Amino acid sequence: MDSMLYFVDLFGTAIFAISGVLLAGRLRMDPFGVTVLGAVTAIGGGTIRDLTLGATPVFWITDTTYLWVIIITCIITMLLVRHPRRLPWWVLPVCDAIGLAVFVGIGVEKALTFQDSYLVAVIMGVITGCGGGIIRDILAREVPMVLRREVYATACIIGGVFHTCALSLGASQESAFLSSIIATLVIRLGAIRWQLSLPTFALER
């Protein structure tokens, strides 16, 4: 189970890196800028989580496999993905949803190893899933996706709530983790499939 989650975590890291590379490509950044945007998207959320929890050194310093995955993914994407529109529209969003769901579960689990608050654990799950994308969008001078109408952070919150509620009801860590992944994934995939969005708050001028 642990080894499978580790590889899915690396898969999510690669997918998040690709989303950063694609945005960098649309902004016509140089290879260094592409790599930076890919890296902050992939590991930015987990880095914020670890620094906030005092979990030093952060995970990618302890395990440099994450850095190699990011570097290799950025290089391959720059060389091969010249025309991302040729990909089926659903491929990247679905892969991103899988990575997001795993990141949320990992964030909640890690938070609970450092403190006891379920509320903090849910917040750390959301940060792990969304933090990198927020940094990416800020560097690209865009309004972060999670602050717009996308059902993205909401899926993370619900997944984290499922995780902590399962633990509070006496479920095993594995069952709670799985419930978090399933809840986040189902909500995010449903939002993608039916193009669901949250209502916006707009003031009249």
Q: Which residue has the tokens 């594995």?
A: 174
SS3 of 150, please? strand
CA distance 135 to 66: 18
User: How many residues can be counted in the chain?
Assistant: 205
CA distance 162 to 168: 10
Q: What is the pLDDT of residues 164-205, one digit of tens each?
A: 999 999 999 999 999 999 999 999 999 999 988 888 877 876
Q: Percent of the chain beyond pLDDT 70?
A: 98
- Exposure string over 114-138, b if 16+ CB within 10 A, otherwise e: eeeebebbbbbbbbbbbbbbbbbbe
Among residues 111, 112, 113, 153, which one has the least CA distance to residue 129?
153
The separation between CA 17 and the C-alpha centre of its own chain, rounded to angstroms, equals: 10
Query: What's the pTM?
Result: 0.93
Q: What is the pLDDT of residues 111-150, one digit of tens each?
A: 999 999 999 999 999 999 999 999 999 999 988 888 877 8
Is the Cβ–Cβ distance between 100 and 129 less than 8 Å?
yes
